[in-house]
Structure 1
Amino acid sequence: MQNVILIVHLILALCLIGVVLLQRSEGGGLGMGGGGGGAMTGRGAASALGRVTWFFAIAFICTSLLLTVIAAQNAEGTSVVDRLGAEPPAAAETETDDTTESALGTDLLPPAPVDAPLAPPRAD
């Protein structure tokens, strides 16, 4: 069910983008655009593209809310904060002497200071 709603959500997003791109750039959106001077006239009846844009926007918001509700139900009552308190699983130890670290831990450490050069090379 969640996959079907997600696919519908993605299709609505693409349709909303397409309808918005089809509209004219004029129209005073955010107070910009428009042609020549003169007094601003009253806004006429919404065009067909405007109505379709509203339909896609409302449907997009509804599918967003529905996906959020489904995701909250699938969370199984656990929280990320609850998982932070849990101890990490023990790393697999190698069968060598006690002085070596786990195989994973040695790859993440920087090189030992004895491996680094004592002084930077001189440019002559």
Structure 2
Amino acid sequence: MQTVLISIHLIVVLGLIAVVLLQRSEGGLGLGGGGGGGVSGFMTGRGQANALTRATAILAALFFATSMTLGVMAHRSAAPRSILDGAGNAQPAAQPNAGNLLDTLRQNQGGAQAPAAPAAPAAPAAPEAPQSR
């Protein structure tokens, strides 16, 4: 169903582009030719303006309708996501003396065990500033 609606949406978009480009330009370089030439044999003055305006309005309404329908369909097909849904499946907190990731992987593989917590580097007693000469 969604593929059919996307195809209809594409046809409406292409039709809307064509109708907008056929309208009389107010000074730009549209396909209407600025009113002088271009599509002069197709329709004349008022008839062309009324038909193209009406076609633009209908195609714009169809564009909005298909866009909204596609948005609703995409929203309904998406799985609901909530932070509360995953609360029961949360992993237990890591142990404070578990060490780093490499140690944990070695324990899981049955390899040699590294020390649990590496020693922290000693902090300098006072901040050091560069000396000028």
**TM-score normalised by the chain length of structure 2:** 0.46
**Larger RCO, structures 1/2 (Cα 8 Å, 6+ apart):** 1
Structure whose alpha-carbon radius of gyration is higher: 2
**TM-score normalised by the chain length of structure 1:** 0.49
